[in-house]
Amino acid sequence: MDWLLLAEFSLVGLLSGGVLALIALGFVLVYKGTRVINFAMGEFMMIGAYLFWTANVFLKLPWWAALALTLAGIAVLGAVVERFVLRPLAGQPVISIVMATIGLGAVLHGVAEAVWGGANLSLPQLLPRTPLTLGEILLPGQVLWSFALAVALIAGFTAYFHLSKGGVSMRAAASDPVTAYAMGIDVRRTQRLTWMFAGVTGAVAGIIVASMTSLSPTLGTVALGVLAVIILGGLDSIAGAIVAGLIVGLLESLTVAFIGGQARDLVPYLVVLVILMVRPYGLFGTRDIERL
């Protein structure tokens, strides 16, 4: 075994896991805030990336203006989804809501193909490419910067949740909407904000992924692998989301290095399958003990 190769691929894997952790954060925000698993998360990423492409490449706006427009646009989309897809379903069985988010994903996918076409588009390189060398290990600049961005965003959201009034309201509303409402918290507002935040994290992750690879309507499929691993870590924990992102990044990178690129998308699912067979309640999840 080549130890240097192992070290390099492990590091690159962990670092590229930062973006995946950002995607995971999007899932966790929505689950914590509204108890919904958002199967359209990948489509939020994809639409975000397309919006950015439209503003930056098509309309030739500077990157910062394009980014601001994209985030505003995706936040509006999040709010619209909450109002017209999720809210009418409040109180319905979980399976109906899950089906609605899967349907929403299909609709967004179709809209993207109708508007932007199915061909691969490319975003400009946004992140500096200058690599960092650690002894004999070479870390690509894009991977480093994407990791730094993801860390900054995750830290920002965590601070918001714990320090601001709005964040505390969101946590309270997530833990018990009825009681939070009786405490004077506008639960509809916190749920709307939750979806807007999820859109924003998705869009940032989408732009990063698209600028490192290419942009097509299938950009969002990466989110499904992340979802599999979050279920492993526990859907309602931000720490679990970060760990999930890093695990997927590491697994994918090591698979590419030692098994081959074709197996890349397969391995995360396999690992999840095996772990869930051994620990059906997840790695960090609590074991439900039923009292008879």
Partner 1 sequence: MNILEAEGLTLSFGGIRALAEVSVAVPKGGITAIIGPNGAGKTSLFNAISGFYRPERGTIRFDGADVTRVPGHARAALGLARTFQNVSLFRGMTVLDNIKLGGHHRLRTGILGAMGYLGRAAAEESRLRDEIEREVIDFLEIDHIRDLPIDALAYGLQKRVELARALAMQPKVLMLDEPVAGMNREETEDMARFILDVQEERGITVMLVEHDMGLVMDISSHVVVLNFGQVIASGTPAEVRQNPAVIAAYLGEQAAKQRAA
- H or E segment to which residue 5 belongs: helix 3-34
Segment 125 to 154, residues that bind partner 1, using CB under 8 A:
none
Q: What is the dihedral sign for C-alpha 273, 20, 30, 66?
A: negative
Q: Is 91 in the site for partner 1 (CB under 8 A)?
A: no
- Closer CB to partner 1, residue 160 or residue 269? 160
Indicate the residue among 67 and 185 with the shorter CB distance to partner 1: 185
Contact 213, 224 (CB under 8 A): no
From residue 105, alpha-carbon distances to 4, 21, 118 in Å are 41, 20, 16
Q: How far is the CB of 290 from partner 1 (least distance, A)?
A: 17
Q: Which residue type does 258 have? A: F
Question: Of 173 and 223, which has the nearer Cβ to partner 1?
Answer: 173
Contacts of 183 (CB under 8 A, 6+ apart): 172
Q: Which stretch binds partner 1 (CB under 8 A): 116-124, 127-135, 182-190, 221-229?
A: 182-190
Q: Which of 151, 166, 271, 276 binds partner 1 (CB under 8 A)?
A: 166
* 88 interacts with partner 1 by CB under 8 A: no
Backbone angles phi, psi at 213, to 5 degrees: -120, -110
At its nearest, how many Å lie between partner 1 and the CB of residue 160? Answer: 6
CB 36 within 8 A of CB 160: no
Q: Are 46 and 110 in contact (CB under 8 A)?
A: no
Nearest to partner 1 of 6, 183 (CB atom): 183
Question: Of the ranges 31-39, 53-61, 177-185, 203-211, which one interacts with partner 1 (CB under 8 A)?
Answer: 177-185
The count of C-alpha atoms lying within 13 angstroms of the C-alpha of 14, restricted to the half-sphere facing its C-beta, is 7
What are the residues whose beta carbons fall under 8 Å from the beta carbon of 219, sequence distance 6 or more? 42, 45, 46, 49, 206, 209, 210
Between 206 and 233, name the residue whose CB sits nearer to partner 1: 233
Q: Which is nearer to partner 1, 122 or 164 (CB)?
A: 164
User: Does residue number 285 form part of the binding site for partner 1 (CB under 8 A)?
Assistant: no
Compute the least distance from the CB of residue 186 to partner 1, in Å. 5
Q: How far is the CB of 174 from partner 1 (least distance, A)?
A: 10
- 95 binds partner 1 per the rule CB under 8 A: no
Which residues form the interface with partner 1 (CB under 8 A)?
Answer: 156, 159-160, 163-169, 172, 175-176, 178-187
